[in-house]
Amino acid sequence: MTQVPCYTIINSPDLEVPNEMQLKQDLEKGDTNVKIETLKKVIKLMLNGERYPGLIMTIIRFVLPVQNHMIKKLLLIFWEIVPKTSADGKLLQEMILVCDAYRKDLQHPNEFLRGSTLRFLCKLKEPELLEPLMPAIRACLDHRHSYVRRNAVLAIFTIYKNFDWLVPDGPELIANFLDTQQDMSCKRNAFLMLLHADQERALNFLASCIDQVQSFGDILQLVIVELIYKVCHANPAERSRFIRCIYNLLNSSSNAVRYESAGTLITLSLAPTAIKAAAGCYIELIVKESDNNVKLIVLDRLIAMKENENMEKVMQDLVMDVLRVLAAPDIEVRRKTLALAMDLVYSRNINEMIQVLQKEVAKTHNVEHEDTGKYRQLLVRTLHTCSIKFPDVASSVIPVLVEFLSDTNELAAVDVLIFIREAIQKFPALRGLIIKHLIEAFPQIKSSKIHRAAVWILGEYVEGEQIPEVIAAIQQTLGEIPMVDAEQRRLAGDQTEEQLQQQQQQQGTAGSGEQTTNSSNKVTSDGTYATQSAYSLAPVTKKEKRPPLRQYLMDGDFFFGAALSATLTKLALRYAELVTDARTVNRLTTQVMLIMSSILHLGKSGFPTKPITYDDSDRIMLCLRTLSERTPEAVGVFLHDCRDALSKMLDAQTEEDQRMLKEKQRATAKVQPDSPVLFAQLSNGRDNQLGENVFESSLNQALAGTKTAQISDMSSPNNKLNKVTQLTGFSDPVYAEAYVNVNQYDIVLDVLIVNQTNDTLQNCTLELATLGDLKLVERPHPVVLAPHDFCNIKANVKVSSTENGIIFGNIVYDTALNTNVVVLNTIHIDIMDYIIPASCTDTEFRQMWQDFEWENKVTVNTSFTDLHEYLKHLLKSTNMKCLTPEKALSGQCGFMAANMYAKSIFGENALANLSIEKPVDDPDSKVTGHIRIRAKSQGMALSLGDKISSSQKQSVQAA
């Protein structure tokens, strides 16, 4: 069965094997419908390994003459799969009659029968059958219908490719045919044959009609692009002859042609005009194509172009065109577009880019969409990067970004404050502008977290005349002081200062002409009038609207109160250094101390939903003590050490970014120390002129599945030989081993089965079952194994989530005496095949850690004695990335804490926190501690924990 060529595979469920006599009877005496069903049954049985040599003559006599189209179709499949030779390799006598039937079908008046027969002849591998049919096949080239003509060309192409002596003048015949054709599908097939069989004739034809290429159909244009590519790579001197044609095809009406033309153009020429034309074509495709997958694929091509140094310089002028892609609604497309634009932008067009991004920010204000918040966050981060990279534009970016502070989307507001914190430290000249906008936006902020960070920035950087202004703004958003008295009056129903001020404002606007009364006339149920007074109504409790900072404290957020106290302390101490008048300084200090003591009193009063914690209380007390005693050490901490800590943190971040950039540049080094030296005088002129051979590389990728195999990959752990799992023992009657090929969403099991007995094994079936989130797509078909024969069976397993899975099963086969079963070893699907290292910000990590509900705690049990070595081992065995900077992990203190993060190919996130220790004074003691894993799904958390446990066991056993 493995030696017989088979093109058409029909999946069939379990079939009962009928009697051959019954099949013969149905084929002889049944009506047309019975013959159709019987013929289908025979085809399925033969595909499953059955042999019916006695049926061939029956089908020739009773089925072949029937003029039913369905039967004609089925017969083409039957003649394709039936064995056409005897045991000694000679052609069966019956096939002469079949050959005559083919010839009649090739001369049939129905064009569908002719065309389908010609398609069928492409699959024949017996020259003895094809030789008598050649005149009829040639005659079909002149048929009136294009369906017949194009299939006749394909038939001649495949026959010439396999048996060129049957049609020695094939290229000449097709070249003459091409000159006279008008139908595009016929032209395409004919040109395709010349492309592979006789390139010279194909080039002559193209040269004769090169000005008309734009008017050709897209199917022919695609083949022309392939021809030009191959010819120019084989002979670069031909580029000048055909590159203009590629330029013209960039304006084709077909998107597929434009995409292929752009890809071909940049591999043939690195001239700036060619790069601009190709990139412009890609951008047009992204903007006009509605399919998100297409947008992402073409964006990846643009990003790949940017990686080339020669192309990047030319593409820098196309930043504004790239930003047109932001009109796409998909967040992933927008993310990639902004990243690409950020890499390409330079000083000449940064201002234009900022204007576009500001317009995009304005567009998102009144749009309600699930991804709007994420998009606003992306825009903020891009504007942040622009400002740090090009400080000149920071002054125009800051007013736009400060507007985000009052945004309900906390993610964008947090990113704005991170930017402001960095900008205010790095650009002293902009501090006045930033603080001015921050004070203006302060009352509109809606989140405690944002207010807390804004208060810290104001306390750290406000100087001089702005200090009283900031304290006044804080007091305004805090409300009446002392707060406990105000809340008691509010509870008693008396008017507070805020309510009195509001009432005065309303009376001022309404005028003093009318006097309002507290009573109103109402109509009762019997129609009479009654007077209703406020005193006769029961009090209705309603949610009081308080100033924002007061509301945070009433909700129990006294961490904000502690942060506010620290800020007020800094402002008061800085004011005392600037102003010499003791009375003014004391007045401001007492005002500040009153606010702090009021927060303390409120926290212990019972009015807030939660009382103040001891930590927050101690911190506020420390601030009060610092203001009253003013010891030099405490003043130095408040005024200088905080800013120094921020400066060091920002410097460490910058160093880390530069180190990552250097590593990336080092990884992409093109010339190794032992690489051969290329001499331009001795080269054949092709080395640096042409890009990679895209057709060859895509073919290699298709064959290899993932990437092109290289010598260095042969010894790597990912090599195919290292992924073979033995399923049975060497002494079992049937030996089996499987290669597990893990693709993105499915697993292909390539199982080798060897018959080690002297018997023929009938119905040898591989039966598989799965455990975990795996699903078997289809059951493998049974096979017949001759003595000491072998075969390969492939099975597809669908994967839908990241967790460990197990595949188990057995091999069942029939011998002459009984049915036997061989139980297989289990195949473990490793979670590491789906997990890739990834990075995220500290804020995102904390948010995910808070949101994910599944946690798995793994105790460290290892033979490692060094904390850093254990961390390296853990990162290697789990494919996770350490988010904690190296500087934070450096040194030996006997304790280590690190955060790790990874992402699965299904988009699932995995977080891990490592806490380990060892005594510093005992160098031989082992590392102890634990690892906490958090994930959204239970399977992910458990599988990652199992992986860590198994890697620890292996390290202990190795030791």
The type of residue at 853 is E
Could you tell me the pLDDT band of residue 784, with boundaries at 50, 70 and 90? confident
Q: At what angle do helices 255-268 and 239-249 cross, to 10 degrees?
A: 150
- Which residues are paired to 752 by β-bridges? 737, 792
The Cα 478–Cα 494 span in angstroms is 19
Q: Is the pLDDT of residue 58 over 50?
A: yes
Q: In one letter, which amino acid is 7?
A: Y
Q: How many CB atoms lie within 10 A of CB 337?
A: 26
Helix (H) or strand (E) holding 658: helix 642-667
Residue 482: is the preceding peptide bond cis (ω within 30°)?
Answer: yes
Mutual angle of helices 642-667 and 410-426, in 10-degree steps: 100
User: DSSP class of residue 756?
Assistant: -
In DSSP terms, 902 is beta-bridged to 837, 910
Asked if the model's pLDDT at residue 91 lies above 80, the reply is no
Nearest to 162 by CA among 140, 206, 130, 201: 130
Q: Which residues are 854's β-sheet partners?
A: 935
Residue 34: which residues within 8 A CB-CB, separation 6 or more? 26
Q: Are 430 and 470 in contact (CB under 8 A)?
A: no
Considering only CA atoms, which of 354, 350, 439, 453 is closest in space to residue 402? Answer: 439
Residues forming a β-bridge with 809: 768
How many C-alpha atoms does 232 have within 13 Å on its Cβ side? 27
Candidate ranges 215-219, 320-324, 692-696, 936-940; pick with highest mean pLDDT: 320-324
Task: Answer yes or no: is pLDDT of 330 > 70.
Answer: yes
The answer to whether residue 738 scores a pLDDT higher than 70 is: yes
DSSP structure string for 464-490: TTHHHHHHHHHHHHH-SSSHHHHHHHH
CA distances from 221 to 248, 255, 671, 911 (A): 11, 11, 38, 50
Q: For 658-691, how does the pLDDT look when each residue is reduced to its tens digit (9 = 90+)?
A: 777 777 665 554 556 666 665 544 544 444 344 4
Cβ 791 vs Cβ 831: under 8 Å? no
* Residue range 418-465, pLDDT digits in tens: 888 888 888 888 888 888 888 888 888 877 888 888 888 888 888 877
- DSSP letters, 797-844, are EEE-SSS-EEEEEEEEEE-SS-EEEEEPPPEEEPGGGTEEE----HHH
Q: Are 261 and 213 in contact (CB under 8 A)?
A: no
Confidence of residue 288 (pLDDT cuts 50, 70, 90): confident
- 506 Cβ partners below 8 Å, 6+ apart? none
For residue range 230-279, list pLDDT tens digits in order: 877 777 777 777 788 888 888 888 888 888 888 888 888 888 888 888 88
For residue 888, is pLDDT > 80?
no
What's the average model confidence in pLDDT over 813-828? 86
Q: Give the mean pLDDT of the chain.
A: 79
Give the 3-state secondary structure of 235-252.
CHHHHHHHHHHHHHHCCC
Residue 871 to residues 617, 794, 845, 930: CA-CA distances in angstroms? Answer: 38, 39, 19, 12
Residue 755 three-state SS: strand
Give the DSSP letter of residue 12: -
pLDDT band at 764 (very low <50, low <70, confident <90, very high): confident
pLDDT tier at 959, thresholds 50, 70, 90:
low
Residues 720-737, mean pLDDT to the nearest whole number? 84
Report whether pLDDT(852) > 70.
Answer: yes
CA distance 871 to 890: 12
Q: At 224, list the tokens.
A: 């022309």
pLDDT at 385: 84
CA distances in angstroms from 836 to 569, 665, 718, 802, 876, listed in the order given = 47, 21, 14, 11, 11
pLDDT for the residue numbered 422: 82
The CATH superfamily of 833-958 is: TATA-Binding Protein (3.30.310.10)
pLDDT at 695 over 60: no
What are the beta bridge partners of residue 797?
747, 776
Q: Where are the alpha helices (DSSP H) in 427-557?
A: 431-441, 448-461, 466-478, 483-492, 497-510, 548-554
**pLDDT given at position 912:** 92
Task: Identify whether the C-beta of residue 15 lies closer than 8 Å to the C-beta of residue 48.
Answer: yes
**Which tokens is 482 given?**
């002392």
What letter represents residue 200's amino acid? E
Q: How far apart are CA 315 and CA 342, in angstroms?
A: 12
User: Which CATH fold topology does 721-829 show?
Assistant: Immunoglobulin-like (2.60.40)
d(CA 809, CA 769): 6
User: What does the pLDDT read at residue 772?
Assistant: 72
What are the residue ranges spanned by the domains of the chain? Answer: 447-490+546-644, 721-829, 833-958
Q: Are 42 and 23 in contact (CB under 8 A)?
A: yes
pLDDT(542) > 80: no
